[in-house]
Structure 1
Amino acid sequence: MTPAIRFLEQHKAIFTLHQYDCTAQDDFGAHAAGQLGVPPARVFKTLLTEGEQGAVVALVPSSGKVNLKRLAKAAGVKKLDMMPPQKAERLTGYKVGGISPFAQKKRLPTVLDASALEHDSVLVSGGKRGLSVGLAAEVIAGLLQARIADIAEHD
């Protein structure tokens, strides 16, 4: 049981668990989508960014990438850059490929891409490689006090 799953249970969130064999070394979201037989647009990756005002979490579909300018605007900061993986691991308490938006060491401002609203539920990391959780976008936003904005560039 990961801290993310405990967090969801404590908050009585309605979610589904999805386990798969994770053999990827990168592009974990696309790998999860393939393993679970789910469209990549429904599997959201948790990305850590940083700027002068601190860190911001971006949740974007694995079928696209984050637009840092739009993310900064949505977060109300001037500029954001991608955070180095080792720093993201230290800050969140999770390993890259299994960074969940839930129960990170410190609650960080979070922005969820608006495309999540197009689906009944989306999948995010459950806190370790090979474990995803499915939730409605509104539930994710509510639990994380996240903003919803158009922050992804879709391939």
Structure 2
Amino acid sequence: MAKHKEEKTNVMRILEQKKIPYTARFYEEGDGPEGTREYGVHVARALGQDPARGFKTLVARGASKGVYVFELPVAENLDLKKAARAVGEKSIELLRVAEIHAVTGYIRGGCSPVGMKKQYPTVFHETVLNYDSVYISAGKIGAQVELAPQALLDLLRAQTADIIVKD
């Protein structure tokens, strides 16, 4: 992947304001296969990262109309039933791509749990605590931040749960 212009994002500014240490990582947009799962794995490998430490952001709406944020390793798929149980909903469904910007302020592929329009209940897959540092979107395509998972959980007042599909 080619070198990307290093530009500070809102996510980075928030982390700095809260005095949370992070490392910015940049990659070229459009490098790699289409699709969240394949693209996330491709980006992680291109940056020399373990894909299990890279977390993608999925946003869903519950039966009660509440909005929830789920963070899971890039190579995994969200189990909707487990996710609904984790947030106390009967059921949830992922937001349509057309809704993502209006609800979060971010676009598909550049959605971060940090700095959304509102602070929604957030659940990370339980493996987040297995690592000294993890990677999340920095709020735009082509940028990630690496930081300590506990600092991220504390900032977002997030919980952890088993929310992925088991093979």
TM-score, structure 2 normalization: 0.87
Give runs of aligned pairs for residues 125-144 of structure 1, distance below 5 A.
Answer: 125-144=137-156
1:10 equivalent to 2:22? Answer: no
Give runs of aligned pairs for residues 33-72 of structure 1, distance below 5 A.
Answer: 33-53=44-64, 54-72=66-84
Give runs of aligned pairs for residues 86-125 of structure 1, distance below 5 A.
Answer: 86-125=98-137
Choose 81-90 or 124-133, whichever is displaced more.
81-90
Query: How much identity, in percent, do the aligned residues show?
Result: 39
Equivalences, count: 155
Shift of 1:4: 1.1
Shift of 1:13: 0.6
Which amino acid in structure 1 is aligned with residue 81 of structure 2? K
1:26 equivalent to 2:35? Answer: yes
Gaps of 5+ in 1: none
Shift of 1:52: 2.5
Distance 1:71 1:141 in 2: 17
Choose 58-67 or 28-37, whichever is displaced more.
28-37
Shift of 1:154: 5.4
Q: CA RMSD in A?
A: 1.4
After superposition, give the CA deviation of every residue in 1:36-57 in whole Å (9 maximum; x if it has no partner): 1212111100001112221110
Gaps of 5+ in 2: 1-7
Q: Which of 1 and 2 has greater Rg?
A: 2
Shift of 1:14: 1.4
Distance 1:35 1:22 in 2: 12
More strand by share: 1
Matched residue of 2:100: which SS?
helix
